[in-house]
Structure 1
């Protein structure tokens, strides 16, 4: 199988350089050298179960720009694509590509997310998702998929389930060829989305299990090489071990020797569901881990998942605290989760999880308060801070690209009313580029000096 994969890469299709967004040290940059921040949402919770489609049409993406997002982390389900080994559902792959195109119609960038939790719907008492049934070791009895009320504590069940850990063990060792089939699946997926103009990159495996210093780096290198052979220049988002999502365990995942790699950390305060409260100490501890990762990797940190159940009384404060940290540290990321078909009975559609930011009427539920952010700057952002009380967004940047063009994402709940500049500086010329993006341009003035801007807003 490895020989076949090599032949496919050598003689198969090769697409032109994508590279519209790339990694430059701890920053994401556009092709013309501007720094860009990615603030997005995961889509969607019910992608994990049949019929494996969360988006029904481009209109499902319509609210996202108005909610202050510029990107989506779009779940891809391996079971849906390859329900039988070697037998592909091409309609599913085509529908996934169609969904990427629908996102582009609403000016949304896409990160492809090969998603799994607890290995498979046929593992962990039917509470997992992602890997097909045939990916289980042949000596293991497949569970009957449940993903309902009995799976509320799926994360605890996953941790204690020896069979699931055994399945991961054999996957990494390719005992039964499942790892080879995973790499071939990655190849098909990369070919399907290779020419999508809004593609940023690939998250190669959501919250995996495996040894961080050996098994995961090897897997990511093999899969990443395939993706970047088909789509040169695409960004690779590399998730740490599943247990690091608590924030209490530091990731030991080393950077792999490929271009454009990003550490994709996840964070869920373990006290949130256990005690229905969150701890500033846990968030600070996690931040310490992330800073060490950035020093090792010399790459941006992408917070691929964070969120809270909507019923928790302090969920909004928790999410605001994470966004405040992301603003201070200039992190990109995607909140969990937007499920357009959320309802009060099945909730997110998987294991009775209830993290969706929207209700069944398409309204925000209170676990997310849209805020403006600096989407692009002509150089390096030095600092960015949003004040909900004053309704001001403060920006300091070092210009390196002419013309000096700053773009601000403005959610629908706010109206831009002006910009203040540091005393003695000439103001930028600002205008609304569209309903949710402000464009400010300064085409004259000295270069390599700091600019200080304060954008003023009021509630609609």
Structure 2
């Protein structure tokens, strides 16, 4: 309906514009220019509506960004469809010339108005039909059908996406809150004396469980998983399986994330000549050498690792499937998923971390990214794996706070979660350039949920975090925690441990992450206690039916929910040594168990229910 409404608005503007413009620029070009200007005018109207709907300026310049995007879209739509208006002008002019003299001039200039109206009507009919055809059937209905079919055969202990929620097989809403683990990533090592990653052990999982975390986004590297094309490395796969097993032992789900930063871990050659404004760069992580095609483009970064000619060219070849490398990664996902298809503690598969944008327009990137996602999902399902598939927009989301994602309707599979990285007011370009936020920390949740709704999918932030002065970090983390609770969402903090030799760490005096490292001695330092207190606040790991409200600060919390069927699936994490005092309505059979780092509360709920803890 929004497309139809936009086209009707375009026609409303096009009729008077055609009369005016075609008088000065006759023929097809006049009609095309009229459509172009009308498209821009439609964008302005859309932006004004968006300003009202989104509540105007709220500590950011989001309305300005909406204006920019909407006007650009409108002009692009006019540019792409203006030829139809141009042909209509030609046809209407010829038709008018054949009308007997005086037939269309009862009111002065009526012939010109009639010709313009005829042209606009003809163009509008064609554009409207084309727009409705391009829109196609709503993908949400197909997604729900696929979701229902999958739910019939998926075992109850597997997690699944259901409309805007992640649930278990009993209909309980599940909040996945945890951290990223990068300790299996095949990272570039700049200093041979400083390892790029820290060892991953079961003790890491025990420690995470002690903070109430119930998910790990396990970053893995395609380069280590498939160093030889077509063959999964058995030793590396064994390490991934070992990590999943440790997670299962400690009640922690795993999201397997195919991680990449800058496409691959190769640095700039020593003799590279970088243009002014760019500089040589370290390597990072990602694809194997056999899947990296750069055509000799320079490995020189602009503003950061994600903008380099070599990286952009590598992504371009990936998106356009040069040498079949895009298909190869999809097939790799099928093989990897087959290894975990029977493991319910694998929550799902994150197909590609922060995809680059290649050398094409964002709309092209979105289309090609959707093609990869669709083929990877097919490979995963053909392998018999039914777990959730996590899809990401491009790296632009992390850098801007918004982005176009893969084209909606790219798959009929309904078991999807939309997983942007919610870094607003953190690593976004606005903060780096000293500009007001494009998207505020709080608004980013609304924007992301709106996009997720377009896929009929839940929202889950695969990464977020804030760095800088301690007071600023805690302030922003506190705001993030409050907004996350308000939206009743889960996420994975970046990052659990970061080695001193990690190129993203920059080789400083400490290895950052929640678990700090002293780079001079290699010893563990005191963890980031203040941040961990925010991350380990009370929350429902599972809640019968649907959560309707949530707020928490440390062990103090309030939650409410509603369930159509009685359920004993309520499970709440509560940090601290003191035994919590609980009260509520609609909750029965409450049990409190002392666990590492806090308390686990279980119970049953029926109808509308509330629970408060002190």
TM-score range relative to shorter protein: 0.7 to 0.9
**Number of the residue aligned with 1:7:** none
Q: Where does 1:407-426 land on structure 2 (aligned, <5 Å)? A: 407-411=571-575, 413=576, 415-422=578-585
**Number of the residue aligned with 2:403:** 250
2:351 matches 1:190 = no
Distance in 2 of aligned mates of 1:128 and 1:122: 7
Match of 1:395 among 555, 559, 578: 559
Distance in 1 of aligned mates of 2:384 and 2:467: 37
Does the CA-based 8 Å contact 1:45-1:337 persist in structure 2? no
* 1:348–1:40 CA distance, 2 compared to 1 (3 A): farther
Distance in 2 of aligned mates of 1:304 and 1:275: 25
Distance in 2 of aligned mates of 1:160 and 1:405: 46
How many residues are aligned here?
420
**Number of the residue aligned with 2:531:** 367
Match of 2:420 among 254, 261, 265: 265
* 1:434–1:165 CA distance, 2 compared to 1 (3 A): same
Distance in 2 of aligned mates of 1:126 and 1:349: 10
User: Which stretch of structure 1 is more off in the superposition, 325-334 or 155-164?
Assistant: 155-164
- Residue 349 of structure 1 and its aligned partner are, at CA, apart by 6.7
**Number of the residue aligned with 2:209:** 65
Distance in 1 of aligned mates of 2:503 and 2:267: 20
**Number of the residue aligned with 2:315:** 168
2:579 matches 1:432 = no
**Number of the residue aligned with 1:220:** 373
Does the residue aligned with 1:396 lie in a helix, a strand or coil? strand
Distance in 2 of aligned mates of 1:318 and 1:277: 17
**Number of the residue aligned with 1:106:** 250
Distance in 2 of aligned mates of 1:159 and 1:426: 49
- Residue 120 of structure 1 and its aligned partner are, at CA, apart by 0.7
CA radius of gyration, larger in: 2
- Residue 179 of structure 1 and its aligned partner are, at CA, apart by 1.4
Distance in 2 of aligned mates of 1:375 and 1:140: 49
Question: Structure 2: where are the runs of 5+ without partners?
Answer: 1-152, 189-194, 269-280, 358-363, 518-523
Distance in 2 of aligned mates of 1:43 and 1:114: 12
User: Which stretch of structure 1 is more off in the superposition, 189-198 or 106-115?
Assistant: 189-198
Does the CA-based 8 Å contact 1:407-1:439 persist in structure 2? yes
Q: Where does 1:143-158 land on structure 2 (aligned, <5 Å)? A: 156-158=303-305
TM-score by length of 1: 0.82
Q: Where does 1:216-365 land on structure 2 (aligned, <5 Å)? A: 216-255=369-408, 256-269=411-424, 274=432, 282-309=440-467, 312-339=470-497, 342=498, 345-346=500-501, 351-352=506-507, 355-360=512-517, 361=524, 363-365=526-528
- Please give the root-mean-square deviation of Cα atoms over the aligned residues, in Å: 3.0
User: Which stretch of structure 1 is more off in the superposition, 359-368 or 277-286?
Assistant: 277-286
Does the residue aligned with 1:368 lie in a helix, a strand or coil? helix
* 1:312–1:111 CA distance, 2 compared to 1 (3 A): same
Which structure shows the higher helix fraction?
A: 2
Distance in 2 of aligned mates of 1:225 and 1:295: 22
**Number of the residue aligned with 1:146:** none
Does the residue aligned with 1:214 lie in a helix, a strand or coil? helix
Distance in 2 of aligned mates of 1:317 and 1:69: 21
TM-score by length of 2: 0.62
* 1:402–1:337 CA distance, 2 compared to 1 (3 A): same
**Number of the residue aligned with 1:135:** 291
- Residue 176 of structure 1 and its aligned partner are, at CA, apart by 1.9
Does the CA-based 8 Å contact 1:123-1:142 persist in structure 2? no
Does the CA-based 8 Å contact 2:341-2:385 persist in structure 1? no
Distance in 1 of aligned mates of 2:369 and 2:587: 51
* 1:118–1:94 CA distance, 2 compared to 1 (3 A): same
User: Which stretch of structure 1 is more off in the superposition, 357-366 or 223-232?
Assistant: 357-366
Does the CA-based 8 Å contact 2:298-2:310 persist in structure 1? no
Q: State the Cα deviation string for residues 205-250 of structure 1 (Å, max 9, x = none).
A: 0000244531111110100111122244210100111011134333
* 1:165–1:275 CA distance, 2 compared to 1 (3 A): closer
Distance in 2 of aligned mates of 1:39 and 1:268: 16
Question: Structure 1: where are the runs of 5+ without partners?
Answer: 1-15, 144-150
- Residue 367 of structure 1 and its aligned partner are, at CA, apart by 3.3
